Structure 1
Amino acid sequence: MTTTSFYIKTIILGFLFYSCSTGNLEVVANMDAQLQEASALELVKNENVLWTIEDAGNPNVLYRLNNEANIDRSITITNAKNEDWEDLTSDKQGNIYIGDFGNNSKKRDTFTIYKISNPKKLKEETSAGIINFTLPKKVDSEDFEAFFLHNNYFYMFSKTGGKGILIKVPNQMGTHVATLITEFKLKGKQTKITGADISADGKTVVLLNHDKLWKLTNFTSDNFFDGKLEALEFKHDSQKEGVCFVDSKSVLINDERTGIEGGNIYVFEL
């Protein structure tokens, strides 16, 4: 993937004076100080810039970062409310999707995905396409912070510690009832999923936690847990929120800023 490889090389060279190892995470940038609660990262196909958002209580704005991780464009979504924006994904045409499905109170009945068309051509504001969904009957309201787009479906993983659920929703405007794919249970003390992505070849899924990354491979259906599951420890614990593939062997990760700590972008080799 030439463009994404170029991006990584550029950002690492640009921050060579800053780069340091944190466990087996490599810090490659410190995010713009304006972004205190960045909840996602997305590297859009055929672009060499990152996009991010902030979560509940922050503006309904999509931010573009340059290769120094500073904001170089802020796009207000005029028909959206940031009830609890938690993750980003994109399609092959370069459209970005915002997952407004955070649900800490577990009282939401309806969740929303906003489609931002051709963001690279936008300047200051836009109106989004809207996809709403509800959960299947007999499925309790859950908190979601992680999703990706694959084969024209959005796949969402609940954040709940202990037993979680994987659901999918079609990439179509309108209101849908999500399909429950499976329940799952991850081992360890910290098991709450805060971000997710799938590799461009569709063969590897990563699920993010504060101190580890779960790597899922060798699956043969969209029940990704039917394959091989590996826990990759970071040796570093912070409020990590966003993850996106650079290529099949590496990802970018960000954490929220807590005081003078965090607010970084890391590269991690799988």
Structure 2
Amino acid sequence: MLRKGLVITTVILLPIAAVAFFMSVHELFKMKTVTVDPKLKEISGIEFDKYKRLWAINDSGDGPILYMLNKDGTIEREVTVTNAKNVDWEDMTQNSFGHFFLGDFGNNDNKRRWLTIYKIENPIDIKTDTTEAEIIKFTYPEMGKGKVKPQDKNYDLEAFVEYKRNLYLFTKNRTQPFDGITKLYKVGDHAANFDAQLIGEFKTCTTLEKLCWITSAAISPDRTKLVLLDSTSLWLFENFEGDNFFNGDVSRIDLGVVTQKEAVTFYDNNTLVFTDEEYKGLFGGNVYEVKLDQAKRNVIKYRDRLKQDSEGAEQKRESSQLEKAPKQ
């Protein structure tokens, strides 16, 4: 009888699971715009220059090369950074002048003590196939000198943005057990050795680490919106105060089926572009586009609502204290 019940349950649930899977696939691929050149099968960072041309970098295993893409995804141009190494390039960002920053800060095993960011000139000003970089170095003071304990492994990094002449870094959490927290650090935007300053933290999820690892970040051209990317979602932060991006409004945009999504950037203040890495030639290696004014958002937190709730609680506490106070 029990076996019969299991068979019936399986027969019912399998079609439901299949439908959910194909709906998830459809959700992602309706955003697809183009497939990138196979040479960028491990695309890990993207950025648009001031002429709205898309540039990309590969993960570790490639040289210190930037690729400019045509609109059809083919490679138009390659630029080598002559004084750089690609130990583990993970993300790109730019400042208001159009200078690009290339993050060589992948740290899967949490063993790298000093990490590197390369700052290059605005790509529209690079006239040859080579350029040199200004070199920024940083370390995490909390990391210490000994072996990092499993529960403290939050020093991997694949995401950063430039904001008000500083660089803001969002860690890729590898803690054991996994606690889902990405930490926000800050360093300068110029050649120097920095101790990364801890600013804040945000929890994505605690279910499966590969579903909620932060793999890229982007900030809108008007500097009012921040986005973090994981394999299933875009996390949108708005109405933040100061440089702790996590203190404002937070919403989540579902990106459908799980793929190895590794890079995101803004095309304009309303349009996001993200990519995923190719997986054994079966899927991935694509560019996708999301319009924020058309995307379905799942609201996680409203700063104003939290502020109102806090003020209301404080007023109730004061009223209660007044009621309990002895009458004069």
Alignment TM class, shorter chain as reference: 0.7 to 0.9
- Within the candidate set 130, 153, 156, 2:166 is matched to 153
Q: CA separation of 1:261/1:141 partners in 2, compared to 1, >3 Å: closer, same or farther?
A: closer
Q: Residues 135 and 141 of structure 1 are in contact (CA less than 8 Å); yes or no, is this contact kept in structure 2?
A: no
Alpha-carbon separation, structure 1, partners of 2:67 and 2:143: 37
User: Does 1:56 pair with 2:77?
Assistant: no
Alpha-carbon separation, structure 2, partners of 1:39 and 1:53: 6
For the residue of structure 2 that corresponds to 1:39, the secondary structure is strand
1:75 maps to: 79
- Within the candidate set 177, 182, 185, 2:203 is matched to 185
Q: Relative to total residues, which structure has the larger helix share, 1 or 2?
A: 2
Aligned amino acid, residue 291 of structure 2: E
Q: Report the Cα offset of residue 23 of structure 1.
A: 3.5
Give structure 2 stretches of 5+ with no counterpart.
1-24, 145-152, 174-178, 293-328
Q: CA separation of 1:231/1:220 partners in 2, compared to 1, >3 Å: closer, same or farther?
A: same
- Within the candidate set 37, 57, 68, 1:32 is matched to 37
Q: Report the Cα offset of residue 187 of structure 1.
A: 2.9
Question: Within 5 A, what are the aligned runs for 1:108-123?
Answer: 108-120=112-124, 121-123=126-128
Kindly indicate whether structure 1 or structure 2 has the higher relative contact order, using CA contacts under 8 Å at least 6 residues apart. 1
Q: Report the Cα offset of residue 203 of structure 1.
A: 1.4
Aligned amino acid, residue 164 of structure 1: T
Report the TM-score, using the length of structure 1 for normalisation: 0.87
For the residue of structure 1 that corresponds to 2:31, the secondary structure is strand
Q: Report the Cα offset of residue 175 of structure 1.
A: 1.0
Q: Residues 157 and 193 of structure 1 are in contact (CA less than 8 Å); yes or no, is this contact kept in structure 2?
A: yes
Alpha-carbon separation, structure 1, partners of 2:154 and 2:27: 36
Report the TM-score, using the length of structure 2 for normalisation: 0.72
User: Does 1:239 pair with 2:266?
Assistant: no
For the residue of structure 1 that corresponds to 2:102, the secondary structure is strand
Alpha-carbon separation, structure 1, partners of 2:261 and 2:168: 20
User: Does 1:92 pair with 2:110?
Assistant: no
Aligned amino acid, residue 129 of structure 1: E
Aligned amino acid, residue 271 of structure 2: S
Render the CA deviation track for 1:60-96: whole Å, top value 9, x for unaligned.
1111112222111111111111110000011222221
2:9 maps to: none
Q: CA separation of 1:30/1:22 partners in 2, compared to 1, >3 Å: closer, same or farther?
A: farther
Alpha-carbon separation, structure 2, partners of 1:35 and 1:56: 12
User: Does 1:47 pair with 2:51?
Assistant: yes
Alpha-carbon separation, structure 2, partners of 1:115 and 1:25: 35
Give structure 1 stretches of 5+ with no counterpart.
1-19
Alpha-carbon separation, structure 2, partners of 1:33 and 1:76: 18
1:174 maps to: 192
**Number of residue pairs matched by the alignment:** 250
1:126 maps to: 131
Q: CA separation of 1:201/1:48 partners in 2, compared to 1, >3 Å: closer, same or farther?
A: closer
2:234 maps to: 213
